[in-house]
Amino acid sequence: DSGVTQTPKHLITATGQRVTLRCSPRSGDLSVYWYQQSLDQGLQFLIQYYNGEERAKGNILERFSAQQFPDLHSELNLSSLELGDSALYFCASSPSDEQFFGPGTRLTVL
Amino acid sequence: GESVGLHLPTLSVQEGDNSIINCAYSNSASDYFIWYKQESGKGPQFIIDIRSNMDKRQGQRVTVLLNKTVKHLSLQIAATQPGDSAVYFCAENINNAGNMLTFGGGTRLMVKP
């Protein structure tokens, strides 16, 4: 158990809908990262937050957004969902360089 | 279980043998490297890391080797066990790029009893 929690574990929704994925980092970790893992793209970095501020952005679509709250939990919002958004979404937290991953949320868009 | 990739290169080893998993990284400016293990249905699990000022680092049953000249990273697992069966990813990090990790495509390790 990495200490990073993610909810929900599974999410099934329809195209065009909006969903919110939630992540609670390890106690004391200020950095939160979001990654997408799909069969054809592998693990791809989406976005990083550090103590509430956006720190780095990767291959994140404009339909996706994230935020980190004062209690350091983070949410990833995915809107106007498409079939191709079906994937595993992982959150990781980090005290410095090492990143510890949560169990992921499996999103299925029908 | 859920598969993380259907067309991953696969390494099949006998229980008790040593395993070597290789990774070519892309960016010569990368200065920190991590190996992760991912079991079916789970998130990546940290195994071992190495900084670019080192060429070898050892952990419990695992050793990471870094060859910066050819941008190559390897993970050696001693006395491979059935519980080592998983997909292994290398990841590289450029510290001035916000600590984002760039992952390799992964290698599936299968341990035969």
Residues A86-103 pLDDT 10s: 999 999 999 888 899 999
Mean pLDDT of A25-45: 91
The residues on A that touch B, with CB distances below 8 Å, are 2, 4, 31, 33, 35, 37, 39, 42-45, 48, 55-56, 58, 88, 90, 92, 94, 97-104, 106
Confidence grade of residue A41 (pLDDT, cut at 50, 70, 90): confident
Q: How confident is the model at residue A40 (pLDDT cuts 50, 70, 90)?
A: confident
Give the pLDDT band of residue B1 (cuts 50, 70, 90).
very low
Mean pLDDT of B39-54: 94
Which chain A residues contact residue B40 at CB under 8 A?
none
Beta carbons of A4 and A101 less than 8 angstroms apart:
yes
Mean pLDDT of all residues in B60-78: 96
For residue A9, is pLDDT > 90?
yes
Q: What is the pLDDT of residue B2?
A: 37
Q: Which residues contact B27 (CB under 8 A, 6 or more apart)?
A: B92, B94, B102
pLDDT value at A70 more than 70: yes
pLDDT of residue B4: 42
Average model confidence (pLDDT) across chain A: 95
B54: pLDDT strictly greater than 60: yes
Among residues of chain A, what percentage have pLDDT more than 70? 100
Show the tokens assigned to A90. Answer: 């992982």
Give CA–CA dist A17/A109, Å, rounded.
Answer: 9
Please name the residue of chain A whose CA is at the shortest distance from the CA of residue B4. Answer: A39
Instruction: Tell me what pLDDT residue B95 has.
Output: 64
For residues B112 and B14, the answer to whether their CB atoms sit within 8 Å is yes
Does the pLDDT of residue B3 top 90, yes or no? no
In the three-class reduction of DSSP (H, G, I as helix; E, B as strand; rest coil), residue B84 is classed as: helix
Tokens matching residue A21 = 């994925």
The whole-number pLDDT of residue A42 equals 83
| Phi/psi of residue A32, nearest 5 degrees | -130, 135
Q: Which amino acid is at A13?
A: T
Q: A75 has which bridge partners? A: A22, A67
- B69: Cβ contacts below 8 Å, ≥ 6 apart: none
